[in-house]
Amino acid sequence: MDRFQRDLKEKDFIFTFELVPGRSIRTQQFSAILKFIEEAPKYEYLSAFSITDNAGGHPALSPVALGRVIKSLGLSAIIHLTCKDKNRNQLESELLALDRENLHNLLVLTGDYPFYGYLGRAKPVFDLDSVLLLQLITEMERGIEIPKGAPGGGNRLPPIPFFKGCAVSPFKLTIEELWWQYLKLYRKLKAGARFIITQVGFSPFTLNQLKLILKDGLTKYFSERLNDKGLHKPEEDSQFKKVPILPSILYLQESVVKALLKGRVPGILLGRRVWKRFKEVGFSEEMALEVCAKLTAIYKRMGFKGVHLCGFPPNWDILKRFFELYQRVSQDIMNKEETYYELLTEFDDYIVYEDNGELIEKNLANIDKPLPKKSFSFSYSMNNFFHNLFFSRKSPLYLTLLKFFTWVTKKRSLEKFFSTLEYAIKRPLFYCQECGDCTLWDFNYICPQSQCAKYILNGACGGSINSFCEVYPYKKVCLYVRVLRQGDPRETIKRYLTKDPPYLPPRDWSLYRTSSWINFYLKRGHFKHEN
């Protein structure tokens, strides 16, 4: 068995280390990474090395190259597999290549939006989101069936022993953002995630709340908060509570702190007390290691399975000092209760960031706080009325319209007319992108193809800050925040939790510029997966 998988089962507390390859293999930075990896067998600190995939949206060495080196030394690699820069076919090809290299540990992520690239910003490609990619991998683990109509259609391929994990970012400033992190985590766990690595954060209390909710039962929590016993699924809760959680620990250099203050690292918020501590004593290697060691010791005391070390220089001398400091702090708080509670006071639920040059202090959202109240919107009410009348399978008009649109498809000119009519109406109303696979109802009549920079269909990414999209900070509110603020948030959440299948399928590109009205009635695209 792979060491990472074995340690997750057998050890009480483990450490993984994140490597960030750069844009060239002919640099001192890459040489330092190679040396660090090659010296790893002399030490027993780390259970696995994880390797980022174009971190920050910048081009970099593929993680497979370093993964191969790590594997050759008898060590464990965790490949960051992101949805960005690749369509679903390329993702499947990459998974086959990873199987060939015997690199089966995966951290599945949506990925950072592309920024700098050759001759300008690269085209954003988010064909799948992290939930759908997890679902694809789960099917490959079982042995994926080739679609009928494709070469070899109907045959089932041999199963592949992937071991996949997911991320979650509970450090959010608004209740809507936070709810989406829990909801999307639910779909990720349903899709087969077997370990969780959290986003970087500086509030042990927020992370402990996540751990306790999973331990007590995620669906139980949803059912109690939404006052709906039908949402409670004990068999799912018993499975989810076994999934190990590894909080991420960030080594803070001065340049990193400045970037966090300005909101330049999507999804990571700087803790207020950590920032004040650095401001008081100044930036130093020892100070950075002290913060990391204290957080690690706290997480061990709280009962987490381990930590994921991020941003550390690839230097064993620095890492050895971190472990010495961590062991000393950990021993102190294990032996003395008052020392543990004293250590907790060095962290709180407040974060700091700059907005137009002004320093803002704000409390992190608490999932136990009330959801926003149901809002009234004339446009939402009208959209809902017309949807229920014309595009609900329970509508009294459904069977009549089914016959009508079936007849329309036999008349090419009529089919084209309805496509033109539909988009003439929907373009000005919804910024429609003519996908032909319309999901407006799932998003309370806000189009994800035009209103989400990553076209995500199964829950918000972790990059938002204070309700704003990571790609358009302080300019454009996250699509998913808007969805919960439109209509009844409780009903929206219930609809999300009870969807069958438990994910929204990806856009079917064969339907581009066809009529989604007709496609609804003929059950094309994602409509054919409805149960």
Whether pLDDT at 356 is above 90? no
Q: What's the pLDDT score for residue 276? A: 93
Q: What's the pLDDT score for residue 188? A: 99
- Residue-range domain boundaries for the chain: 3-363, 378-529
Q: What's the pLDDT score for residue 517? A: 98
Whether pLDDT at 207 is above 90? yes
Who has greater pLDDT, 474 or 162? 162
Q: How far apart are CA 353 and CA 29, in angstroms?
A: 30
Q: What's the pLDDT score for residue 376? A: 81
Q: What is the mean pLDDT of the chain?
A: 95
Q: At what angle do helices 204-216 and 285-302 cross, to 10 degrees?
A: 20
Q: Give pLDDT tens digits for 148-190.
A: 888 888 899 999 999 999 999 999 999 999 999 999 999 999 9
Q: Give pLDDT tens digits for 87-125.
A: 999 999 999 999 999 999 999 999 999 988 899 999 999
Q: At what angle do helices 63-72 and 88-100 cross, to 10 degrees?
A: 20
Q: Could you say which of 3.30.360.10, 1.10.10.1150, 1.10.150.120, 3.20.20.220 is the CATH number of the domain covering 3-363? A: 3.20.20.220
Give the residue from 59, 55, 79 showing the smallest Cα distance to 67: 79
Q: Is 194 helix (H, G, I), strand (E, B) or coil?
A: coil
Q: How far apart are CA 376 and CA 11, in angstroms?
A: 52
Q: What's the pLDDT score for residue 150? A: 87
DSSP, residue by residue, 375-408: ---HHHHHHHHHHHHHS-TTSTTHHHHHHHHHHH
The whole-number average pLDDT for the span 509-524 is 97
Q: Which residues are CB-neighbours of 393 under 8 A, at least 6 positions away?
A: none
Q: Which of 352-361, 421-430, 471-480 has the lowest mean pLDDT?
A: 352-361
Whether pLDDT at 375 is above 90? no
Q: What's the pLDDT score for residue 316? A: 97
Q: What's the pLDDT score for residue 337? A: 86
Q: What's the pLDDT score for residue 334? A: 85
Whether pLDDT at 360 is above 80? yes
Q: What's the pLDDT score for residue 531? A: 77
Q: Which residues are CB-neighbours of 242 under 8 A, at least 6 positions away?
A: none
Q: What's the pLDDT score for residue 77? A: 98
Band the pLDDT of 530: cuts 50, 70, 90: confident
